[in-house]
Structure 1
């Protein structure tokens, strides 16, 4: 398959992720959109790594995936803590936590 297919798919995934972050107010949907953006970047790394026959891209994808998993765990823990304190996890209501 040509590399352009992978790049087009990755660009579409990244655009959907950006739209999800910008347009949605639900924190769970925002986290899923962020993960979609990470996976779009990972797809580009793997595509270029396979095209150039170098394993550096695959190794970088491994580190990005472990960092994304840690980010999701911390984000979900924060959402649970905020829900217990405020009884809502609406992003518009979280602006009240500034100070």
Structure 2
């Protein structure tokens, strides 16, 4: 049992990074101001402590952090919930099967 929990914890912690990691993905985002109005959209070009640069149609747009109210990705919130729920269900199913009583598994097979 200890080995299974250790293995799952080790696998889950492999993708932990420090806070100052460079953005490797140039994903598509929408930028909204503090009032909720869309002020820009495009692929992430550069991120710094004070600004966000987006690239779209050959042009680079820069937005100051103080002017940004919200940043949305291409995916909706429901998609993020679905991916998280599916990942958690799969992980708990694997742990449940690995720690199940072998006599109970005979009923399933």
Structures share a fold, TM > 0.5? no
Shorter-chain-normalised TM-score: which range? 0.3 to 0.5
* Higher RCO (CA < 8 A, seq sep 6+): 1
TM-score (normalised: structure 1):
0.33
Greater fraction of residues in helix: 1
TM-score (normalised: structure 2):
0.31
Greater fraction of residues in strand: 2
